[in-house]
Structure 1
Amino acid sequence: MTIAPLAPRRVALVEDDEDLARSTAQLLRLAGFEVELFAAAPPALAALTADWPGVVVSDVRMPHVSGIDLFRQLHERDPELPVVLVTGHGDIEMAVQMLKAGAWDFLTKPFAPDTLIAAVTRAATARGLTLENRRLRAMAQDTDAPVFLGESPAIRRLREMIPVLANADIDLFIEGETGTGKDLFARLVHRAGKRARQRFLPIACAAMPEALSEPLFAASGLAEPGLAAAHRGTLYLDDVDRAPAHLQERLLPFVEQRALRHRGEATPIDVRVISTSQDAADGPPPSLLPPLFYRLAAMRLRIPPLRERREDIGSLFARFAGDAASRMGRELPPVTAPVRTMLERHDWPGNLRELANFAEQFVLGLGEPSPTPSAARHKGLTERVDAFERDEIVAAVQAAGGEIGAAIRSLDLPRKTFYYKVNKHGIDLGALRRKD
């Protein structure tokens, strides 16, 4: 599953004044939104589902079913659907009541175009996060999802090849950067085939001292430690391209003859060899002996890095976060805009390992990336003011231990203004209270 756009660009505009509806729709379309027009509340109610990916902008004064009634029915259907109410009557008390009830914003006619665009843009961003969190929880709870996760073409092909390769019993040479899942793929191939009941013997080839490599080739008995322990199973040579020269020289005759020699006698070893390399080149990796490479690489496979299959990052993050939450006995927290931006834009040089670590930090409440100073400078004044207001309100509620009255007093704000800003900035007071 791909990471959906952060801000759904759809607006349901409910307005019975035909001229005003046309001009407002044109304003929103010029701002990049896809607008669906409804002349009354009933057809809007029929069209808007619980997971509708957008924002509702509705006039309050309409015949038969008012905008207030429309909001209440939509709120019952989906309490997190952003609804911006517009009225020509400056009823402040009604506005405050609706904001407390969960309306996203309340605008009074005539409103400035920038005011409407700003309100709808913030609401769309919040809606994107809400829907992404729902997808995240659904994916995290999907125990039937494949172990080798991903829907990118390369990963789907690799997953489809597992049962074929498992019983083909040919040696595999898996290429890919660190953390791409080479070990997992090798183990899945082993488990799916006829060798599954026998041992999967991993050997970390990189920088192995000669003193440690010597016992690997002992052949005094199949019960002895070493390569003999992989008899009828799978030998996994991890990072064979980084194996020292002495190890490569010993592996070459073993791979060719499938036998261990002791005092001039050869002991046959029935073993399948799966090797990995961090280098992906047209020919042998520069550090690997060509004769050894050509004996190991009966079939070459490549697992792409995350930056080449960004459509898989969302589902992988969901699975890692769900596993971490289950293991730690914690609830899955909501995805915030900075976390979402990190998932969308980071290159993930550590691939799956880095993403899994980030998911654990996220579950622990430590995965909130901080914007760089340069990024903060490039934000507009309005964005910086909004960010400051939001941070101050969150800090006040946390400092008050979740006691809203105390937080309002510390901020020296009227209660109505406090709740207006809470809704404006999409602050989840319930989540802050639970955290405290």
Structure 2
Amino acid sequence: MSDVRAIAGRVALVEDDPDLRASTQQLLTLAGFDVVPFVAAQPALLAIDADFDGIVVTDVRMPHMSGIELFRTLRERDPTLPVVLVTGHADVEMAVDALKAGAWDFLSKPFDPDALIAAATRAVAARALALDNRRLRAQAAGGEQAALIGRSPAIVRLREMIPVLADTDIDLLIEGETGTGKELLARLIHRAGRRARHRFVAVACAALPGQAIEDELFVTVGDRGIVGAQRGTLFLDDIDQAPRALQGRLTQVIEDRAIRGHRDAVPVDIRVIATAAEEAQRAPDAIAPALLYRLAAVRLRIPPLRERREDVPLLFAHLVDASAARLRREVPPLTHEARDLLAHHDWPGNVRELAHFADRFVLGLDGSGSMAASDDASRPLPERIAAFEREAILAAIAATGGEIGAAIDRLGIPRKTFYYKVQRLGIDLKTVRGQP
């Protein structure tokens, strides 16, 4: 049977004693860790930065720079990086002080091998979670979570479900129209749970030719196909468009949690998330009943934009900001034409179509982005920003029928900021609220 054991995590091992370094490296390697050995603190500092995707295990007493000094320097770089200290009897008090200062753990020599493995396992899990949270914050700033931005009850509920489902091993079926963000939701669920430190393997079921199914998906060695998702997530995109033969083999894998090879069945520890078109938009037998039964323990539906129109202005504002930053262009003022389109268009392509419109708007290519007008381009930047803010505030008030509280919610800014901008921009709320 093939060895499909996944790496448990990365460990930077800093130890100047060659025998102890070799034995500790062997211990951690056999436990499934990817060990990077260092003979001293200085070379470790050169290799470990704030984005290091692992933990540090270091001896305390070393020449030139001690393990305590190494810990303090690393903590300045990244306070979330776990550092496990290995101490002699005389250094225990020093290690306890370091523990109070934020060290992850310390072990006294001679240490129990199981204690080191347990400490490293806990630290690796904490490190993976910290890095995942950091990536999610960066992605939120960069627009990757755009599809789940909004205040409609359905979108709020989906966001609330992510941490609930993340650490369960229940297989999921995500249904929705094209462009609604089904794969995004699957990736966010994967990243929020304990499987985040392992791979998210995406399979485009509709695009797999017959021979590729055997050659790529159901291999039992290496890191391709299903075995590549070991201890991670297998993402089956457009499962309703998969051939029946493929659906049958996937049903067997999901049921047995194993791939049947020529001689043996190779076990796989995977979490399966599949996507499909809306139930009403696909044929009744598009998904084989046996497969649907196994996938649909939890079914999530992402509504199309036409069912959550209240989210469109907020989504568009987010996408325009992201597009302007990516294209290195100024944000143009919102025009009446663009506002009318946002309010009345059905957006059959959903968030993907809205994102394309945001790009065209920023570039002035759709006829509604007034940035293309020479008179606007000649205006100073503060004036253009003020004009955009004024248009956005007036649009929010109009869209909510003059309800100021609802307009503030739609704009997504604090109440104090709203009234400050209203005063600075010279907006007469009484007059505006009386306008149709």
* Inter-partner Cα distance in structure 1 for 2:350 and 2:297: 26
Aligned to 2:166: 166
Aligned to 2:208: 208
Equivalences for 1:11-410 in 2 at 5 Å? 143=141, 148-221=148-221, 223-281=222-280, 285-368=284-367
Letter in 2 for 1:168: T
* Inter-partner Cα distance in structure 2 for 1:276 and 1:356: 21
Aligned to 1:20: none
* Inter-partner Cα distance in structure 2 for 1:328 and 1:301: 34
* Inter-partner Cα distance in structure 1 for 2:283 and 2:160: 26
Q: Which whole-Å deviations, capped at 9, do the CAs of 1:12-33 have from their partners, x for residues lacking one?
A: xxxxxxxxxxxxxxxxxxxxxx
* Inter-partner Cα distance in structure 1 for 2:241 and 2:170: 22
**Structure 2 contact 220–227 (Cα < 8 Å) conserved:** no
Letter in 2 for 1:245: R
Cα displacement (A) at 1:369: 5.2
Letter in 2 for 1:194: R
* Inter-partner Cα distance in structure 2 for 1:187 and 1:160: 15
SS at match of 2:235: strand
Structure 2 residues not aligned, in runs of 5+: 1-139, 380-436
* Inter-partner Cα distance in structure 2 for 1:290 and 1:336: 50
Distance 1:334 1:240, change over 3 A: same
* Inter-partner Cα distance in structure 1 for 2:200 and 2:182: 14
Moved more, 335-344 or 258-267: 258-267
Task: Return the structure number with greater relative CO, CA threshold 8 A, min gap 6.
Answer: 1
Say how many residue pairs are matched. Answer: 237
Letter in 1 for 2:261: H
Name the larger-Rg structure: 1
Between the aligned residues of both structures, percent identity stands at 53
**Structure 1 contact 219–267 (Cα < 8 Å) conserved:** no
Cα displacement (A) at 1:214: 1.1
Distance 1:284 1:234, change over 3 A: farther
Structure 1 residues not aligned, in runs of 5+: 1-141, 371-390, 404-436
* Inter-partner Cα distance in structure 1 for 2:322 and 2:270: 34
Letter in 1 for 2:237: D
SS at match of 1:206: helix
Cα displacement (A) at 1:402: 6.5
Letter in 2 for 1:307: R
Cα displacement (A) at 1:217: 4.0
Cα displacement (A) at 1:293: 0.6
Distance 1:175 1:332, change over 3 A: same
**Structure 1 contact 203–236 (Cα < 8 Å) conserved:** yes
Letter in 2 for 1:366: L
Q: Which whole-Å deviations, capped at 9, do the CAs of 1:243-275 have from their partners, x for residues lacking one?
A: 112211221111111111112301100000000
SS at match of 1:293: helix
* Inter-partner Cα distance in structure 2 for 1:224 and 1:181: 27
**Structure 2 contact 240–277 (Cα < 8 Å) conserved:** yes
Per the normalisation by structure 2, the TM-score is 0.51
Q: Which whole-Å deviations, capped at 9, do the CAs of 1:363-383 have from their partners, x for residues lacking one?
A: 10113359xxxxxxxxxxxxx
Q: Runs of 4+ in structure 1 displaced over 4 angstroms?
A: 142-147, 281-285
Aligned to 2:74: none
